[in-house]
Chains A and B, each alone.
Chain A
Amino acid sequence: MSFSGALAQLFAIALALVLAPLLSGWVGQCRAWLQSRTAPPLLLPYYMLRKLFEKDVVLAHNASSLFRAAPFVIFGCMLLACAIVPTLSTDLPFAPAADALALVGIFGLARIFIALAGMDVGTAFGSLGGRREMLVGFLAEPALLMVFFTLAMIAQSTSLATIVETLAHRELIIYPSLAFAGVAFTFVSLAENARVPVDNPATHLELTMIHEAMILEYTGRHLALIEWAASLKLYAYSCLGLALFFPWGIAPGDNILALAAAIPLLLLKLAIGGFLLAAIETVNAKMRIFRAPEFLGTAFMLAVLGLLVRLLLEVKV
């Protein structure tokens, strides 16, 4: 690992840490605009994080060590995910580890910890949220995997770096399968990040929430870490989506200059992506929790279709 490589990797991680809350703030702001509300400040997530870090942690009496460890594990997982997703460059030191399957595994690990933590204290909402989270997860993961398989077939590799490399530096070819995979990926992202059609990040209505239900018992820096991890997850998914389906502008090398050149484009893409997310959330109503399987089933189906279309239309020409 060269020194500049390590530096670039650190830079990408730092950028993720900084940009992730900003992205959440931006989405919140867009949502407010679209819904004709007074927009909260763009930097609100930072204020929240600072406030939470300054507060003391209050723990339930029966909270186990798992409850205390979970925020750190989740945060670590999300940070690692952000590190291996090719956001700025496809040739960073962590790139060899950036396998699509490994990424799904990292997300899965974080999910298990958050669900366990939710159940740990033994409140009704925590276990309800945990169960729902696992339901969503068990439906979303196969769909996500199918999306990755479709892409892997195009690139002949499951390495994210290779996939993005292939997609970014190809001639302009229309892949119908990519369209299917893209829609499926959007569905999965919405569900995984607890966005509107499946969950509402802004709600505290007990019976409908999923993500919020699990973290009700968290306070102080634990809560801060979890909130930060959630925004990192959104950031990771957004960057992944952008890298896979709009890969232009991602630097192939690892020198700082190339990375710096990739930043403005990334910001622009994230801004547009965030706006679109807010638009999706505004246009759609949250669906009943029992519809979520159908929603994710559709995502899975689309991903499978993408794979089939790939097999039929694009292979063996």
Chain B
Amino acid sequence: MNAAIPLSAQLINLFAAVILLLAFAMLAQRRMLSLVNLFAAQGFCLFLATLTAAVTTGQSHLFYSAGLTLLLKVIALPWILYRLVRQLNIKGEVEALINIPTTMLVGIVLVMAAFNVALPISELSHTITRGTLGIALAVVMLAFLMMITRQKAISQVVGFLSMENGLFLAATSATYGMPMVVELGIALDVLVGMIILGVFFFQIRDQFDSLDIRHMEKLKDN
């Protein structure tokens, strides 16, 4: 059984598991800068997973993809986020809507659901790292949960990017990469989205004097 798994697949599984762990850590994290750190660490694990997949399969586009991940998710985006946190002078703890232990419990339920959904699919796959599909889905769900429960704009964005990480994990580990054009396009979208968000943050702050999105609940159907 287990002995049949080659080392590379084991490594990818390990990185995937660590990515999941980091997703949980982000869910539990209260401080903004640590959140960005965790996001960078998650990106780094994603990079390692992609790199392992690239070395194993020898597909050149996976190398590009890994490089792209390193540049974007480990260096560029955390750097932008750092700058934003510092320039916007965001201090104090991340305010969560639901207390953190409850969030964690909900998170576990989500992970179970994700694994349940992914199990029948992974059984169909040929790739040895098919189990990562479930993890990717779980990471997406957890990021979604984080976006729902957090009230600061930046932590919502980190949640959004973490969701993107989960999707990338699904793309690179479970299927050994999407076609190159697509990956480039996705990376471009993420980057542009981040830049737009950066602009956006300043607009929000100028307008509301805060990045707390509780200020932005005026538009409702009464």
Residues of A at the B interface (CB closer than 8 Å) are: 171, 173-174, 176-177, 179-180, 183, 293-294, 297-298, 301-302, 304-305, 308-309, 311-314, 316-317
Contacts and interface: CB of A to CB of B under 8 A. Distances in A.
A316 B17 CA distance: 17
B30 to A, nearest CB: 11
Contact of A312 (B18, B100, B135): B135
Given A176-B14, A317-B5, A298 B119 contact: no
Interface in B1-34: 1-5, 7, 10-11, 13-14, 16-18, 20-21, 24, 28
Instruction: Among A174, A179, A293, A316, find the residue whose CB has the most chain B CB atoms closer than 10 A.
Output: A174
Interface stretch (B73-81, B108-116, B184-192): B108-116
Contacts, number: 73
Contact of A177 (B7, B17, B123): B17
Given A179-B18, A180-B17, A173 B104 contact: no
A179 B17 contact: yes
Nearest to A314: B2
B3 A312 contact: no
Interface residues of B, number: 35
B118 interface: yes
B122 interface: yes
B101 interface: yes
Instruction: Among A293, A298, A305, A311, find the residue whose CB has the most chain B CB atoms closer than 10 A.
Output: A305
Contacts of A294: 100-101
Contacts of A312: 115, 118-119, 122, 131, 134-135
Contact of A179 (B3, B14, B105, B119): B14
A301 B105 CA distance: 8
B114 to A, nearest CB: 9
Contacts of B100: 294
B43 interface: no
**A-B pairs, 9 with minimum CB distance:** A176-B17, A313-B131, A174-B10, A297-B101, A313-B13, A312-B134, A176-B14, A174-B14, A312-B131
Given A312-B118, A312-B131, A317 B1 contact: yes
Contact of A313 (B1, B16, B21, B28): B16
